[in-house]
Amino acid sequence: PVHSRRKTSSRQAFTATPFRLLVLTILQNEVVRHIETTLARSLFNCDESAAYAGTALAFRDRLVIDWNKTQQNQTFADPKRVYYLSLEFLMGRALDNAMLNVGLKDVAKEGVQDLGFRMEDVISQERDAALGNGGLGRLAACFLDSLASLNYPAWGYGLRYRYGIFKQEIVDGYQVEIPDYWLDFNPWEFPRHDITVDIQFYGNVRKYQDENGKQVSVWEEGEIVQAVAYDCPIPGYQTATTNNLRLWSSKAASGEFDFQKFNSGEYESSVGDQQRAETISAVLYPNDNLERGKELRLKQQYFWCAASLYDIVRRFKKSKKAWREFPNQVAIQLNDTHPTLAIPELQRILIDQEGLEWDEAWSIVQKTFGYTNHTVLPEALEKWSVPLFQHLLPRHLQIIYDINMHFLQYVERNFPKDRDMLGRVSIIEESQPKMVRMAYLALIGSHKVNGVAELHSDLIKTTIFKDFVKIYGPDKFANVTNGITPRRWLHQANPRLSELVASKLGGYDYLKDLTLLHKLEKYVDDKDFRKEFQEIKYANKLRLAKYIKESTGVSVNPSALFDIQVKRIHEYKRQQLNIFGVIQRYLAIKAMSPEERKKLAPRVSIFGGKAAPGYWMAKTIISLVCAVGEVVNNDKDVGDLLKVIFLEDYNVSKAEIIVPASDISEHISTAGTEASGTSNMKFVLNGGLIIGTCDGANIEITREIGDENIFLFGNLSEDVEDLRHAHVYGNYEVNGDLQGVFNAIQQGKFGDANRFSALVSSVVEHGDYYLVSDDFDSYIKTHAVIDEAYRDQETWLTKCITSVARMGFFSSDRCIDEYAETIWNVEPLKPKETNGSA
Ligand code: GPU
């Protein structure tokens, strides 16, 4: 049956080495066997989805072998391990990544071609694992890739949501959310029904004196939910190291399923208990940079922290080492404050269950944890109400109070004159109701706190954690600037550029040491290289143009300047500034003579991103973008000069198509609000330029690539406070161009003006918190500079190539090495044998 589908086109490759032929044959047999036996499908009616499933299962087999060896090797060597606790892992697709990491993509491509399929079509059958919202979750995924690629003994711990981030549809210009039930077929996870942990909620605390007169607390009664482990292999690039991502799924504890009820005919209510337990890991909260204090979210957090810590402690105890060795064996990194409960949970295990004294336990806890902060936005800082805590986690609340008491006593001793300090730094906010400030708890319970870009790491020391710098000194604070994995974000997303780079650098070593990219600079004047580089960008734009046509019906000119802003929709990220700028461009075009129009460089303005379902303002921004697109794209006066596109359901796999196709991308947050940003790095690495504010990692990108290669604009973070003040207390006038934009909206040029009035009034009436009016002029002027620069294609190309060559710093490998050295104190563990296929 295989032969009947064979195409002659792949025959050439069969002339390669006998070894390659052997691997090809074996792989192909494995794929066919999986299709025929694991899936019980006939090869005669094998469709793309079966071809995907067969290929995925064949590669999974390979990963599993290395995975088992890695785990055995780690168990035997028992080195210090890193545990990365994150409520989000935005992994995207796994097959392409697995094939590239194992080094067999080309062979597999031939294999599936032989079965009558194109590899791209096979790959695109896979659903994204979308267990995250945005940058924070994608960072966790890049970190897992780097940890494995650098051979660090590391585990990720998260939740196995039944529903990942919702799928976005645009219906009549509005966002509609569709549930993402992604688990129908997921060959990349392994249920471990033997690895379960009972997790307790509610109940009460009984205190008594034991036979030695020691005060003991027991957390009793309440209800139990069971955590079941699901493991996903995380292959490293060209190494046999295959780490583990363990995701917990909730179900009713075995004793919990009420057979009494069941037998007495109350079948429904006993199923109800089951369902209630399963609710815990049912759905990812779809908020980015926002906390809403929902009880179920706190339950998710405790469920996941408790299960993970139980697992980590169990592994440690197998080594029979003394408790004081715990921080020498275990480093736990908290991805934002979401896993902060792990701190009181470890303290509880050590004192209530293991019988350690408070001080000894607390010293172990502090040495074990590190905390990464990802935002200074006040609405994103987690706070939980004390009554909710008391109800759900009574023992933990007591422990938090004790932690706070010890901490405040320390502060009082050291700052006796600053009485207000105690109230400011207390873990408990004295509000109505009282609140637990999770960031303070995370900071106090960790030995290091880090921000994610230099500016951000400076800002946390002068704003939200100012007092804590006085209390602990500056050494408790560090910066680790974010990075991205070049495997996915160059090699996988942009294979032709990756190949071009490899051809100049003598191979793919740069994918393991991205600083080697600097060697590209010597080809910046090389005619052939330049031509090839430019052709690749064009091909990537063509691919995106095709995708835009398929998904929106709009034809765009692939030679136009592609101007892209894709990220979560948020007022601080200022998609509204972008769309106001687009409207201003549209009005300008309308006012031009035909001669003037001829001089203008054609543009395609591309937007993409999800709005949190309850974030009304963000949804309004989306509908304005769609409404402007509707008008502009159908205006005969405008033609190719401007197209406005909103791409539905932006996610990781779509980013892999979008990112390589930009000429300019927009990273235009109000200065001081975007902690780092990571897509800025992806776009530049793929040969695009940036328009951006002096915010987050844009500043370090500028330092690396040179300010002649980036288009910066807008006010600086140190001026933001005063500017906001001026809006609130001054009588602020919106300038001419922006007023023109507002007039056009209010005249109904883009449909019913009432739909968009909140966007206008947030600027003209409500204090313009995000400083859209302050930055508008400089934004428009900078876009004019970009138009001019793009006209000179040779100079533009030089900027792009030079920038790529200087992006070595932004690999997540560099980032992980910094964490390993300055925060975790862990070392790589070389795999026993290298994987034969690498
Ligand atoms: N970030 Br807090 C998220 O994506 N979600 C969040 O809830 C929080 C932060 C992002 C930051 O906004 C972004 O600037 C940063 O690059 C990213 O985390 C990774 O550090």
In SS3 terms, 515-526 reads as: HHHHHHHHHCCC
Residue 812 phi, psi (nearest 5): -65, -15
Q: Which residues face 464 on adjacent strands?
A: none
CA-nearest residue, atom 16 of ligand 1: 677
Instruction: Name the residue among 153, 438, 179 with its Cα closest to residue 286.
Output: 179
Domain end among 479, 511, 529: 479
Q: Which residues face 163 on adjacent strands?
A: 181, 283
Residue 572 phi, psi (nearest 5): -70, -25
Residue 251 phi, psi (nearest 5): -150, 165
- The residue from 41, 338, 682, 727 that is catalytic is 682
Instruction: Please state, rounded to an integer, the average pLDDT across all residues of the chain.
Output: 95
**pLDDT for residue 271:** 82
CA-nearest residue, atom 3 of ligand 1: 136
What is the value of ipTM here, to two decimals? Answer: 0.99
Neighbouring CB atoms inside 10 A of 43's CB total 17
By three-state DSSP, how is residue 331 classified?
strand
Report d(CA 98, CA 82) in Å as an integer.
Answer: 22
Q: What is the mean pLDDT of residues 724-734?
A: 82
785 Cα–ligand 1 center, Å: 30
447 Cα–ligand 1 center, Å: 22
The model's confidence at residue 696, banded by pLDDT at 50, 70 and 90, is very high
Residue 30 lies in a domain: no
**pLDDT for residue 257:** 52
DSSP-assigned letter for residue 44: G
Ligand 1 atom showing the smallest separation from residue 372 Cα: 20
**pLDDT for residue 672:** 98
The model's confidence at residue 231, banded by pLDDT at 50, 70 and 90, is very high
DSSP-assigned letter for residue 573: G
Query: For the chain, first and last CA: distance in Å?
Result: 30
Please check whether residues 445 and 382 belong to one and the same domain.
yes
Residue 117 lies in a domain: no
Question: What residue type is 733 in one-letter code?
Answer: E
Report d(CA 679, CA 74) in Å as an integer.
Answer: 34
Report d(CA 398, CA 344) in Å as an integer.
Answer: 9
Residue 587 lies in a domain: yes
- The residue from 374, 395, 491, 799 that is catalytic is 374
Please check whether residues 466 and 506 belong to one and the same domain.
no
Residue 832 lies in a domain: no
- 573 given a catalytic annotation: yes
Helices (H), 426-574: 438-444, 454-462, 466-472, 486, 495-505, 527-552
Beta carbons of 618 and 611 less than 8 angstroms apart: yes
Question: What residue type is 101 in one-letter code?
Answer: N
- What is the extent of the structural domain holding 237? 78-93+128-479
Beta carbons of 96 and 492 less than 8 angstroms apart: yes
The bridge status of strand 330-335 relative to strand 369-372 is parallel
CATH number at residue 358: 3.40.50.2000
**pLDDT for residue 512:** 98
Chain centroid to Cα 460, Å, comes to: 21
Q: What is the mean pLDDT of residues 246-256?
A: 87
Please check whether residues 545 and 684 belong to one and the same domain.
yes
The model's confidence at residue 698, banded by pLDDT at 50, 70 and 90, is very high
The model's confidence at residue 532, banded by pLDDT at 50, 70 and 90, is very high
Report d(CA 362, CA 342) in Å as an integer.
Answer: 13
Report d(CA 793, CA 772) in Å as an integer.
Answer: 31
Report d(CA 640, CA 698) in Å as an integer.
Answer: 31
Instruction: Name the residue among 378, 334, 310 with its Cα closest to residue 823.
Output: 334
Residue 18 lies in a domain: no
Ligand 1 atom showing the smallest separation from residue 290 Cα: 7
Report d(CA 687, CA 667) in Å as an integer.
Answer: 16
Cis peptide before 433 (omega within 30 of 0): yes
Please check whether residues 503 and 593 belong to one and the same domain.
yes
- Mutate which of 84, 375, 457 for ligand 1 pocket (most atoms within 8 A of beta carbon): 375
* Greatest distance between any 2 Cα atoms in the chain: 96
Q: What is the DSSP string of 641-669?
A: GEEEEEESS--HHHHHHHGGG-SEEEE-P
By three-state DSSP, how is residue 48 classified?
helix
Residue 35 lies in a domain: no
131 Cα–ligand 1 center, Å: 15
Instruction: Name the residue among 621, 573, 592, 618 with its Cα closest to residue 745.
Output: 621
Write out pLDDT tens, residues 600-619: 999 999 999 999 999 999 99
- The residue from 568, 574, 783, 799 that is catalytic is 568
Residue labelled with tokens 């792009």: 800
Beta carbons of 244 and 144 less than 8 angstroms apart: no
Please check whether residues 166 and 201 belong to one and the same domain.
yes
**What percent of the chain is helix, strand and coil (3-state, nearest 5)?**
55, 15, 30
Beta carbons of 84 and 157 less than 8 angstroms apart: yes
Instruction: Assess whether pLDDT exceeds 60 at residue 8.
Output: no
Q: What is the mean pLDDT of residues 461-482?
A: 98
Instruction: Assess whether pLDDT exceeds 60 at residue 548.
Output: yes
- The residue from 678, 782, 799, 806 that is catalytic is 678
The model's confidence at residue 17, banded by pLDDT at 50, 70 and 90, is confident
- Mutate which of 285, 374, 567 for ligand 1 pocket (most atoms within 8 A of beta carbon): 374
Joined together, the tokens standing for residue 478 give 């560090």
- 374 given a catalytic annotation: yes
Neighbouring CB atoms inside 10 A of 731's CB total 6
Please check whether residues 418 and 496 belong to one and the same domain.
no
Please check whether residues 445 and 534 belong to one and the same domain.
no
Ligand 1 atom showing the smallest separation from residue 135 Cα: 4
Ligand 1 atom showing the smallest separation from residue 674 Cα: 14
**pLDDT for residue 267:** 74
Please check whether residues 436 and 491 belong to one and the same domain.
no
23 Cα–ligand 1 center, Å: 42
Report d(CA 172, CA 644) in Å as an integer.
Answer: 16
Residue 19 lies in a domain: no
Please check whether residues 378 and 499 belong to one and the same domain.
no
Write out pLDDT tens, residues 252-264: 987 655 556 666 7
Strands (E), 289-340: 330-335
Sign of CA dihedral 301, 199, 277, 160: positive
Residue labelled with tokens 């000069």: 641
Instruction: Assess whether pLDDT exceeds 60 at residue 53.
Output: yes
Report d(CA 577, CA 774) in Å as an integer.
Answer: 11
Question: Which of 626-633's residues contact partners 24+ apart within 8 Å by CB, and which partners?
Answer: 626/170, 626/173, 626/174, 627/173, 627/750, 627/751, 627/755, 627/756, 628/579, 628/582, 628/583, 628/586, 628/750, 629/554, 630/173, 630/750, 630/751, 631/586, 631/749, 631/750, 631/751, 632/582, 632/586, 633/554
Domains identified in the chain, total number = 2
135 Cα–ligand 1 center, Å: 5
**575-591 vs 736-746: helix crossing angle, rounded to 10:** 90
Please check whether residues 217 and 354 belong to one and the same domain.
yes
Q: How far is CA 26 from CA 30, 68, 104, 111, 233, in A?
A: 6, 21, 12, 10, 22
Ligand 1 atom showing the smallest separation from residue 289 Cα: 7
- Sequence length of the chain is 838
With a Cβ cut-off of 6 Å, ligand 1 is lined by 133-136, 139, 288-289, 336, 374-375, 380, 452, 482, 674-678, 696
Global confidence as pTM:
0.96
Neighbouring CB atoms inside 10 A of 597's CB total 15
Residue labelled with tokens 């509204």: 576
Cα angle 379, 607, 481 (rounded to 5 degrees) comes to 55
**pLDDT for residue 733:** 75
804 Cα–ligand 1 center, Å: 24
Beta carbons of 366 and 359 less than 8 angstroms apart: no
Instruction: Assess whether pLDDT exceeds 80 at residue 269.
Output: no
Q: Which of 207-221, 282-296, 575-589 has the highest mean pLDDT?
A: 575-589
Q: What is the mean pLDDT of residues 227-235?
A: 98
Domain end among 435, 455, 479: 479
Instruction: Assess whether pLDDT exceeds 80 at residue 836.
Output: no
**pLDDT for residue 9:** 37
Report d(CA 377, CA 468) in Å as an integer.
Answer: 18
- Mutate which of 289, 290, 610, 816 for ligand 1 pocket (most atoms within 8 A of beta carbon): 289
Instruction: Name the residue among 293, 704, 765, 681 with its Cα closest to residue 489.
Output: 681
**pLDDT for residue 2:** 36
Question: What residue type is 293 in one-letter code?
Answer: G
Q: Which residues face 642 on adjacent strands?
A: 603
- The residue from 62, 299, 396, 567 that is catalytic is 567
**pLDDT for residue 254:** 74
By three-state DSSP, how is residue 199 classified?
strand
230 Cα–ligand 1 center, Å: 26
667 Cα–ligand 1 center, Å: 14
- 682 given a catalytic annotation: yes
CA-nearest residue, atom 1 of ligand 1: 136
Please check whether residues 182 and 251 belong to one and the same domain.
yes
Report d(CA 651, CA 666) in Å as an integer.
Answer: 17
**pLDDT for residue 261:** 63
Residue 447 lies in a domain: yes
Instruction: Assess whether pLDDT exceeds 80 at residue 162.
Output: yes
Instruction: Assess whether pLDDT exceeds 80 at residue 375.
Output: yes
Please check whether residues 446 and 535 belong to one and the same domain.
no
Neighbouring CB atoms inside 10 A of 131's CB total 26
Domain end among 461, 479, 497: 479
Chain centroid to Cα 426, Å, comes to: 31
**pLDDT for residue 18:** 84
Sign of CA dihedral 738, 743, 748, 754: positive
DSSP-assigned letter for residue 384: E
